[in-house]
Amino acid sequence: MFIYILRRILWTPVLLIISTFFVFFMGTVAPGDPAELKLGNKATPERIEKLRDEMGLNEPLSTQYIKYISKAIKGDFGESYTYSGKKVSTIIGPKLLVTLQLNLIASFLAILIGIPLGFYAAKNHKTKLDPLIVLSSLIIYAIPVFLIAPLLILFFSVNLNWLPASGWDGIFSYSAILPTLTVGIPGSAIYIRHMRSSTLNVINEDYVRTAYSKGLTNFQITTKHIIRNALLPILTLLGFTIAGIFSGSLIVEIIYGIPGVARLSLDAIFQRDFPILTAFVMIGSVSLIFANLIIDLAYSFIDPRIRLSEKN
């Protein structure tokens, strides 16, 4: 157990270095000379060469990387090419916050709908309700955002005139409701499916039958034996949800006109503003690595079986 945790924790920095180096490398092999892009119309060969020296572009890649990463740890991702003179961090900070809020609330909604419904479907396995819930979750999961977003706008903002069709005034305003639904409801379908199958697995376990024959009440068995064990595999799913915390709502943001990560990163692609793009991918992958680490560690703490199997 101890060795497992130690190995896992020691591997994390290596993973961090490799993945950040890869992202950095992709940013440098990207088309276009950064100095040329930055100078724009004022570019002359001499000026470009001078700026390249100033920006440290003539140094070896490893030196550039170390310089970049030692700044990035302090939250400084360099300067943007297109918004001249502006720090990348000041540009992307507010956008990341918007996307983060939207996805957090949406994931919360997905879990809130998905886990009870999935459990309910498994509990009613032999009735008509189960295939109904499964099929509708499959259908909802597969609906393209391109369809569900305009349909929601059409219904709630054009026909009923209840909610604004687009824009963003913070997460606790009316304008956040439709985007949250658009991200959260298809997300809940995944939780329904996994919660259902893991509950079905647990219901047929021997210890559940034993609990019944001991004469425990239905409520006790459900809360203490079934739900607790069925929730374990959901932890892995939580990892995937966290993986999408910065990137799960790209299309939704575009369609609803939300000033989040999507618009900025797409603009960055077309304007070849790679520092912004690199910063996004880097922040995303670093948070993903840490999230996975925490989930793995949490697993071994929560599930005694994993602890025991490591011991033997």
Residues at the contact surface with another protein, assessed by CB under 8 A: 15, 18-19, 22-23, 26-27, 29-31, 126, 131, 135, 138-139, 141-144, 146-147, 149-151, 153-154, 158, 165-166, 243-244, 246-247, 250-251, 254-257, 265-266, 269-270, 274, 277-278, 280-281, 284-285, 288-289, 292
Q: Smaller CB distance to another protein: residue 35 or 211?
A: 35
Closer CB to another protein, residue 109 or residue 140?
A: 140
Q: Tell me how far apart the alpha carbons of residues 140 and 56 are, in angstroms, rounded to a whole number.
A: 51
Q: How far is the CB of 58 from another protein (least distance, A)?
A: 21
Q: Which is nearer to another protein, 229 or 292 (CB)?
A: 292
Q: Phi first, then psi: give them for residue 24, nearest 5 degrees.
A: -60, -45
Nearest approach, Cβ of residue 195 and another protein (Å):
15
Cα 115 to the center of its chain, rounded Å: 19
Q: Please, what is the minimum distance in Å from the beta carbon of residue 50 to another protein? A: 25
In this complex, which beta carbon is closest to another protein, that of residue 28 or of residue 216? Answer: 28
CA angle 182/185/189 to nearest 5° reads: 140
- Provide, rounded to whole angstroms, the least separation between the CB of residue 281 and another protein: 5
Between residues 150 and 233, which has the closer beta carbon with respect to another protein?
150
Query: In terms of C-beta density within 10 A (0-12 exposed, 13-18 middle, 19 or more buried), how is residue 270 classed?
Result: exposed
End-to-end CA, the chain:
10
* 2 C-beta neighbours (distance < 10 Å), count: 8
Phi, psi of 3 (to 5 degrees): -65, -40
